[in-house]
């Protein structure tokens, strides 16, 4: 039976879960995975937290050098959050040939190229399954379950910052960078992800009238013009498994596998479970695997599409006659309408409209022409 000594950096929400799982399930892992996973060191500045979790005095380290130098530690779990300090700690670990497991989306998205280079140079492992979607096992699925299927698009919902201090837009960009890179086998830098957009109470009500819910989503598409990556509010059909409140998951489309929907994650417990799964994988597999693409900071080989495609939602303040003109004007520009609804009291009518798949620039141009042919008060 292989013994793996584990050190945990940070006992916050995720690190605490990792510690608890490793302590309570050690015998189970010995029996089912033939691996003895032993916590040998913990680096956590908060004495109160150490006491809460019952960490023995002999396991409490005072600095990263002490952890890295510990001969009983083979693998270090990084759960401190942030990027710069976490990078320093992880590089110190990799440079002595010890494996790193991280649940930190910001760290991996910003510095995966540096971490991977250090891991390769020193024959160390690098695992990051807990860093995406709060631990939904999509990373392992992409690496070990869908290698034969090149995805053409993905939509993810429910990313949440388990470490705190990161905006949802930034977090979505970090996680989408990792997901798109794995799914499309090319480096998509987090800085290349378009972020922005907002929704109002009126948007929410109008979306509901058309059969949708508004969700903050991360979208990636692999097209002939390049890769589209954006984090924004979007309409999700009410019947979609990604629509409910609190839903965490991802939908992958394309390739031999067709459509794959994975739900789960989003909690510290799920992220902790994903981290422990990475520890078990490292303990039970010989050799180390790295990216299936050239992982560099610049991502020069990746072309990003500048004109995204999608079905677009429009709200236009107009009456029935104006609505007919708008639909006709859009049709003349090659934009089909898949759903529309004219609603509102007399004098305050509005047209709610969802287009079929088209380009953003085409919608913009068509609206400019529609404005000239119909009495429009407002277009959203």
Domains of the chain: 2-133+268-284 (3.40.50.720), 137-263 (3.30.360.10), 309-373 (3.30.70.260)
Pairing label, strands 358-359, 309-310:
antiparallel
d(CA 79, CA 133): 15
pTM: 0.88
What band does 221 get if pLDDT is binned at 50, 70 and 90? very high
* Residue 313: per-residue pLDDT: 92
Other C-beta atoms lying within 10 Å of the C-beta of residue 290: 14
* Residue 333: per-residue pLDDT: 82
* Residue 179: per-residue pLDDT: 92
Q: What's 187's DSSP letter?
A: -
State the chain's mean pLDDT as an integer: 88
133-143 tens-digit pLDDT: 877 788 888 88
Percent above pLDDT 70 for the chain:
93
SS3 content of the chain, % helix, strand, coil (to 5): 40, 25, 35
112-157 tens-digit pLDDT: 999 999 999 999 999 999 888 877 788 888 888 776 667 889 999 8
* Residue 205: per-residue pLDDT: 93
Residue 2 has pLDDT above 90, yes or no: no
* Residue 234: per-residue pLDDT: 93
Taking each helix axis as running N to C, give the angle between helix 13-24 and helix 268-284, from 0 to 180 degrees, rounded to the nearest 10. 50
Residue 165 has pLDDT above 60, yes or no: no
Q: Please enumerate in sequence order all residues whose Cβ is within 8 A of that of 71, keeping only pairs 6 or more positions apart, or say none.
A: none
230-275 tens-digit pLDDT: 999 999 999 998 888 888 889 988 877 788 888 877 788 888 999 9
CA angle 263, 264, 267 (to 5 degrees): 155
């Amino acid at each position: 039976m292989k013994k793996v000594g584990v050190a945990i950096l940070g006992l916050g929400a995720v690190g605490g879960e990792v510690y608890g799982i490793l302590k309570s399930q050690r015998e189970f892992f010995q029996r089912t995975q033939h691996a003895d996973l032993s916590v040998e060191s913990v680096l956590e500045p908060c004495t109160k937290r150490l006491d809460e979790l019952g960490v023995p005095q002999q396991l409490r380290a005072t600095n990263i050098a002490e952890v890295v130098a510990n001969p009983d530690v083979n693998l270090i779990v990084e759960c401190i959050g942030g990027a710069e300090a976490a990078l320093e700690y992880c590089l110190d670990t990799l440079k002595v040939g010890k494996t790193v497991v991280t649940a930190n989306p910001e760290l991996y998205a910003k510095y995966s190229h540096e971490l991977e280079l250090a891991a390769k140079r020193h024959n160390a492992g690098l695992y990051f399954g807990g860093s995406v979607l709060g631990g939904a096992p999509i990373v392992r699925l992409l690496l070990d379950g869908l290698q034969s299927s090149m995805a053409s698009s993905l939509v993810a919902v429910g990313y949440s910052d388990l470490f705190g201090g990161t905006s949802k837009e930034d977090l979505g960009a970090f996680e989408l960078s990792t997901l798109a890179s794995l799914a499309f086998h090319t480096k998509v830098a987090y800085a290349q992800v378009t972020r922005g957009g907002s929704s109002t109470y009126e948007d929410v009500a109008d979306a509901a009238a058309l059969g949708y819910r508004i969700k903050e989503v991360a979208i990636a598409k692999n097209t002939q013009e390049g890769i589209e990556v954006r984090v924004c509010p979007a309409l999700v059909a009410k019947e979609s498994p990604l629509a409910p409140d609190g839903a965490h998951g991802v939908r992958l489309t394309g390739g031999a596998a067709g459509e794959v929907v994975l739900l789960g994650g989003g909690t510290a417990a799920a992220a902790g479970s994903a981290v422990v799964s990475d520890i078990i994988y490292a303990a039970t597999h010989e050799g180390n695997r790295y990216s299936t693409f050239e992982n560099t900071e610049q991502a020069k080989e990746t072309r990003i599409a500048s004109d995204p495609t999608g079905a677009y939602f429009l709200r236009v303040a107009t009456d029935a006659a104006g609505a007919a003109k708008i639909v006709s004007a859009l049709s003349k520009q090659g934009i089909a309408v898949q759903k529309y609804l004219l609603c509102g009291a007399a004098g305050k009518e509005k047209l709610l409209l969802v287009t079929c798949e088209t380009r953003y620039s085409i919608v913009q141009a068509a609206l400019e022409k529609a404005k000239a042919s119909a009495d429009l008060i407002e277009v959203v």
